[in-house]
Structure 1
């Protein structure tokens, strides 16, 4: 959808703000650009709508070179939200949102309907706020108007340049949540610049980390946390964030990868013997290909030892279980639904690759907590 091909920005004094970045932004993706001050993240974003012209390389939208497009028309077809919001103080809220549709020659009735629709979408009652002026709104409400204005002409691409950085923490978190909901609902392609790594991890489908004009790594939040490609990336993210964000921690990091398994036709005496030897109180039942079949608690095995000849006769359904792509947060959420305190972890073929128990989950998270405390 949006493609950078060896794009650079060099100023007249020779300063290279962006150095041969090469990446693609997918249709409907929320891509976060992040890095320290002077990393080139805002310059990279502003080159998309030609607010800053690039020096070398190509920027393509749907395969079309943006330098071949009329600059004014290009900007009218790309939504733009900035930190300072940039509302016109002498315009009403309704008028502020309607600016781009008016420039594009929309019918007045269509504009009014679109403004009302967007105000409701961002949580501002049109009857209450349409005829107010920006100074009569709080910072959070003004930023909602900024988002509505960016969406007014229904652009496919929206650029957001540190839009929430000036807001208080509570308002910021609320607007982040609203942005996630809007993105899921509207499926717009969003390029979001921030200096806040927690915000990037929360919002981004993928995150591009920049330093000194270079793109160091572009990956999903999960991959950045667990497979940093550069020492700077690891330092910039900070290991403590894994503990703060268990929803970003792979369940494979908290599972026991050597679970005790058994075939379903094993005798109860033999099953109990190996459970005692391994000092476990729950057995995972699998077939010849290690595909998950069921769960067998030692308590039930002992209670019904004389009534059965094979453990499959009294095994329980293997629920809940999780796939290897799940997170530690998923395990935390379903643990209360695990009647035997064990969650099997399976691969794409439903083969057992590990188990999470209350003990292994607590142990892994406690270790992380201790490491975090010691590193601070």
Structure 2
């Protein structure tokens, strides 16, 4: 889908911000670019839509050299979300989202339908928010509008430059979860820049770690944790995150402390209230005997708020899942296929015991490493 071949960005004076970088991004993949300040991660992303033109090498989208595109047309076909959001303060929310479709010559009625659809998709009621101005929205709401605007013309590629870094932790966590859900649903190719390793591990299908303009390793979060290929990669991830003897750790030792369950007959309004109260993005559905039935996301509930009576109508199968006799190693391997970043753990009768999440996995490994360091000191 998107390919870098020996791409270099050299500025005046010979400074190479990006030095002969090569990698491919698969269609529908969420790739995270991460590294310390000055690593070249943002420059790499900005070369995709030619905000920063590359000096040498080839960048192609679906096999076509980006240098053969008209710059304006290239950018209109690539969604772009930035940290500062960049909404036009004198435009309503509706007009902000409609900008690119208008530039592409969409019909007014089609634009109106698309704006309403996108506002609902990002959890903002069009009847309430479409005619408001950016200053009337919170930071999290504005960033939702930024995401909607990036999706407005239905681009295949979306670039996100530290989009959540200026938000408070709770709003940031919620938007991360919502973006993960949107990505799984829409299958857009996303290039996501961050300086936060926890965010990278949570968000990325794969993570590319950069330093001094070089690409040091590009792998799944689980493989990065198991097999850091470079000393700097190990140091940057944090030695406390590198997984030690996962085959010996029971999966029950790495369960999340914040599993939020719901009965299947719960109304969507009550479910949303519970989600907000517990600051989560998903509900695990279980019956009166706590038998696992499925999972529902906040995004799906909001989308179907007026069309369902009970959350069971929109729940999806809780797959994959693990038996309580499994190990942390099995959870690590299975996490690659866990579309919501979580794996239910059940007993042989399918009674829910808890959830393993990427966060609980990392927390458990961190604790294990701390204990090992204490033993070595003693």
TM-score of the pair, normalised by structure 2: 0.70
Long gaps (5+) in structure 2: 252-322, 336-341, 350-363
Q: 1:373 to 1:124 in 2, by over 3 A?
A: farther
Q: How far apart, CA to CA, are the structure 2 residues paired with 1:86 and 1:210? A: 27
CA contact (8 A) 2:9 2:18 kept: yes
1:252 is matched with: 247
Q: 1:366 to 1:143 in 2, by over 3 A?
A: closer
CA contact (8 A) 1:250 1:327 kept: no
Q: 1:149 to 1:322 in 2, by over 3 A?
A: same
Map of 1:259-274 to 2, 5 A cutoff? none
The alignment partner of 2:215 has SS state of strand
Q: Over aligned residues, Cα RMSD in angstroms? A: 3.0
2:29 is matched with: 29
Q: How far apart, CA to CA, are the structure 1 residues paired with 2:58 and 2:218? A: 19
CA contact (8 A) 1:240 1:372 kept: no
Q: 1:188 to 1:335 in 2, by over 3 A?
A: closer
Long gaps (5+) in structure 1: 244-248, 257-318, 340-362
Q: 1:364 to 1:323 in 2, by over 3 A?
A: closer
Map of 1:61-140 to 2, 5 A cutoff? 61-140=61-140
What is the deviation of 1:226?
A: 1.1
Q: How far apart, CA to CA, are the structure 2 residues paired with 1:7 and 1:200? A: 23
1:368 is matched with: 369
Q: How far apart, CA to CA, are the structure 1 residues paired with 2:80 and 2:234? A: 31
2:330 is matched with: 326
Q: How far apart, CA to CA, are the structure 2 residues paired with 1:107 and 1:230? A: 52
The alignment partner of 2:31 has SS state of strand
The alignment partner of 1:39 has SS state of coil
The alignment partner of 1:112 has SS state of helix
Q: How far apart, CA to CA, are the structure 1 residues paired with 2:82 and 2:131? A: 23
CA contact (8 A) 1:93 1:129 kept: yes
Figure out how many residues of one structure are paired with residues of the other and give that number.
Answer: 287
What is the deviation of 1:364?
A: 8.4
Q: How far apart, CA to CA, are the structure 2 residues paired with 1:330 and 1:3? A: 28
Q: 1:36 to 1:367 in 2, by over 3 A?
A: closer
Q: How far apart, CA to CA, are the structure 1 residues paired with 2:343 and 2:41? A: 36
Matched, 1:7 2:7: yes
The alignment partner of 1:179 has SS state of helix
The alignment partner of 1:17 has SS state of strand
Q: Highest Rg: 1 or 2?
A: 1
What is the deviation of 1:241?
A: 3.1
Q: 1:330 to 1:153 in 2, by over 3 A?
A: closer
TM-score of the pair, normalised by structure 1: 0.71
Q: How far apart, CA to CA, are the structure 2 residues paired with 1:85 and 1:20? A: 30
CA contact (8 A) 1:200 1:207 kept: yes
What is the deviation of 1:77?
A: 0.2
Q: How far apart, CA to CA, are the structure 2 residues paired with 1:24 and 1:330? A: 24
